[in-house]
Amino acid sequence: MITFDEALALIDSRVAPLGCERVSMEEAAGRTLAVDAVAALPSPRHTISAMDGYAVRLDEVEPGVPLRVTGEVRPGQSAIALASGAAVRIFTGGVLPEGANCVIMQEYATRDGDSVQFAPGFGPARHVRQKGSDFDRGDVVLSRGTKLDARSLVAAAATDAKHLAVYRQPSVSVLATGDELVASGSAHESAYAIPDAIGPALGAMIQHGGGKVVSRGFARDDLPALERLAGQLAQDVDLVVVTGGASVGERDFAKPMFAAHGLELQFDRVAMKPGKPVWFGRVKDCWVIGLPGNPTSAMVTARLLLDPILGRLQGATRGHLWRSMPLASALPATGDRETFARARWDATGLTVLGNQDSGVQGGLAKADWLIRCPSGQSELAGGTMVSALQF
């Protein structure tokens, strides 16, 4: 067995990003930039007003002394000049008139026909946004490897880009193995059937991670049939995720089904709890990860190892974001394997869930964090700071 850190290092060193493609701004959400987003325009494009009010020369303003109003500027209109001893009505985003150096908020203004005067206390802020004060033309606004969420898309669109170069989405097939598995909603029809609780969750996790699920299904424990299916899947997608059959029993066919097609194992078993049977390999141009069949084991190993694989295929350069967080209650001692304890967070800190069995399903809904516990760690008291990953 290798350690969890060694498994992550192998993924990082051997999984290369897929090719890139150009997509529209409307299609870019959730994708990862393959090329820096460079500004074609400065932001703001001109020096503009940050408030509705009046553009003036500050040294010409005295509270209670009227100034002539000689014009008006709205956003999108061309600039005008400010005459000496005058003011220009201006709206937020309007181009600051030539000669003006301040915008006085309209709350301090009293308008009387073509003149305006200002109440005391309108300073010292000038309410002006300088041209290029956010970013200038040619600046890198978003770096390659940025995952495009709602906030970063604001910046991407502000560069005046019509299309963005992004890494191709990994195509993924999810395959659950086991004679006992059936689609959720039909298990009640057979006394010994079990609903597939992992497949839908993995599909959601893959989509959240930027992957595209092209197939999801079941397969019975029939090695010849599994070998035929493995060959087809490896030709069709970038990544196959197999659940179950990951151990060394007589009916564990997850690795053998791909061995017939030249499976090159990158690692086989990881010294972690839960998830020891997890394995990772390659068949020609397709990556394959085998997850344990127990629901908790499958979801924990998917969060810890499948997510980084999806990230690397899309050019991600940052790994897991571990945070230092306080325990709300005691954390039991760990055994001879690094352990990832499921926990929930509230205002008092992290509370370790009572049932840490790898087959738990109902308890997964309560777990929103994984606590990383080194092997051989003694019991930790409440209030101790621990390393945790959002689950």
CA distance readout (Å), 72 to 4, 67, 75? 65, 14, 10
Residue 344 scores a pLDDT above 80 = yes
| Element counts in the chain: helices (H) and strands (E) | 7, 26
374 contacts 338 by C-beta, under 8 angstroms: yes
Average pLDDT over residues 71-86: 96
Q: What number of other Cβ atoms are within 10 A of residue 122's Cβ?
A: 21
Average pLDDT over residues 124-149: 96
Average pLDDT over residues 131-160: 96
Among 169, 291, 302, which residue's Cα sits nearest to residue 238? Answer: 169
* Percent above pLDDT 90 for the chain: 84
Measured distance CA(34)–CA(15) in Å, rounded: 16
Cβ-based neighbours of 105, under 8 Å, separated by 6 or more: 51, 52, 53, 122, 127
Q: What number of other Cβ atoms are within 10 A of residue 124's Cβ?
A: 7
Q: What share of the chain is helix, strand, coil (3-state, %, to 5)?
A: 20, 35, 45
pLDDT in tens, 21-60: 999 999 999 999 999 999 999 999 999 999 999 999 999 9
pLDDT in tens, 203-221: 999 999 999 999 998 888 8
97 contacts 80 by C-beta, under 8 angstroms: yes
Structure token digits, residue 21:
């493609």
Check residue 249 and give its pLDDT: 61
What's phi and psi for 386, nearest 5 deg?
Answer: -130, 165
Give ∠ CA 185-203-237 in degrees, rounded to 5.
125
Check residue 250 and give its pLDDT: 64
pLDDT band at 78 (very low <50, low <70, confident <90, very high): very high
Q: What number of other Cβ atoms are within 10 A of residue 260's Cβ?
A: 15
Mean pLDDT in the chain?
94
pLDDT in tens, 260-276: 999 999 999 999 999 99
pLDDT in tens, 218-256: 888 889 999 999 999 999 999 999 998 766 666 678 999
Q: What number of other Cβ atoms are within 10 A of residue 59's Cβ?
A: 8
pLDDT band at 300 (very low <50, low <70, confident <90, very high): very high
Residue 306 scores a pLDDT above 70 = yes
206 contacts 241 by C-beta, under 8 angstroms: yes
Measured distance CA(91)–CA(314) in Å, rounded: 43
309 contacts 267 by C-beta, under 8 angstroms: no
Among 7, 24, 32, which residue's Cα sits nearest to residue 314? Answer: 32
Measured distance CA(40)–CA(109) in Å, rounded: 37
How long, in residues, is the chain? 391
pLDDT in tens, 104-135: 999 999 999 999 999 999 989 999 999 999 99
Q: Tell me which long-range contacts 232-236 makes (C-beta under 8 A, separation of at least 24).
A: 233/173, 233/175, 233/286, 234/258, 234/261, 234/283, 234/284, 234/286, 234/288, 235/284, 235/286, 236/171, 236/173
Q: All domains of the chain, ordered by start, with CATH?
A: 4-16+169-313 (3.40.980.10), 22-41+136-167 (3.90.105.10), 48-129 (2.170.190.11), 323-390 (2.40.340.10)
